[in-house]
């Protein structure tokens, strides 16, 4: 296993540590969880850089890298729904899109085709990661003092909530694009 794939796998290893930090009630647990999440998210850029610049791109890496991203973000979303930080529909839409795309990748692999992450998918991941960090820093239950909450259309939304709403919309867009570009894989010949 090459260095790039080991870095990717380290992201998966950080997920349970993130969950423990988020769920375990101790001083600054959300800050610790946010830092672990941010470190895990940074490995996404590092593994890609290492793979491309040191010629370590593999089919395994093309498959496991986006899967690691999905697991990391899905874990954070489930934690946030449990704490009432985001609406359940956001998590359901984002996670459903990830299952659909992973299913399409699996179908492609069964046909001998490896689908690398698209630019839209990479942007989607960055937006989701940014939204998760916004929820940590500016969510309703932020432990960093009074969260910045403003009124919009007569309702109160946190900056984190709005960031996650934007991430949800972009996730829908990227999922539709992904299916449209790869629809030939779903057709029986």
Q: Model confidence over 118-129: pLDDT tens digits? A: 899 999 999 999
DSSP annotation string for 37-70: HHHHHHHHHHHHHHHHHTT---HHHHHHHHHHHH
Q: Model confidence over 75-113: pLDDT tens digits? A: 999 999 998 889 999 999 999 999 999 899 888 889 888
* Cα–Cα–Cα angle for 103, 42, 82, rounded to 5 degrees: 60
Q: Model confidence over 49-79: pLDDT tens digits? A: 999 999 999 989 988 998 899 999 999 999 9
* Tokens 């996404």 belong to residue: 44
Query: Residue 84 has what DSSP assignment?
Result: T
Provide the 10 A C-beta neighbour count for residue 184. Answer: 9
Taken in order of first residue, the domains within the chain and their CATH numbers are 3-186 (1.20.120.1760)
Helix (H) or strand (E) holding 156: strand 155-158
């Amino acid at each position: 296993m090459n260095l790039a794939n080991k870095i990717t796998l380290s992201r998966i290893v950080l997920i349970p540590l993130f969950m423990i930090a988020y769920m375990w009630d101790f001083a600054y647990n959300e800050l610790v969880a946010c830092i672990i999440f941010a470190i895990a998210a940074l490995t996404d850029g590092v593994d890609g850089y290492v793979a491309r610049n040191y010629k370590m791109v593999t089919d395994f890496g093309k498959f496991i890298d986006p899967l690691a991203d999905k697991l990391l973000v899905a874990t954070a979303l489930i934690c946030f729904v449990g704490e009432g930080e985001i609406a359940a529909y956001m998590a359901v839409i984002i996670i459903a899109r990830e299952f659909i795309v992973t299913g399409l990748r699996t179908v492609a692999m069964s046909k001998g085709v490896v689908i690398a992450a698209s630019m839209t998918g990479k942007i989607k991941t960055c937006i989701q990661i940014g939204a998760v960090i916004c929820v940590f820093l500016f969510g309703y239950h932020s432990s960093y003092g009074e969260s910045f909450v403003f009124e919009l259309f007569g309702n109160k939304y946190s900056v984190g909530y709005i960031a996650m709403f934007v991430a949800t919309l972009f996730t829908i867009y990227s999922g539709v694009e992904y299916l449209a570009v790869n629809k030939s894989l779903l057709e029986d010949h």
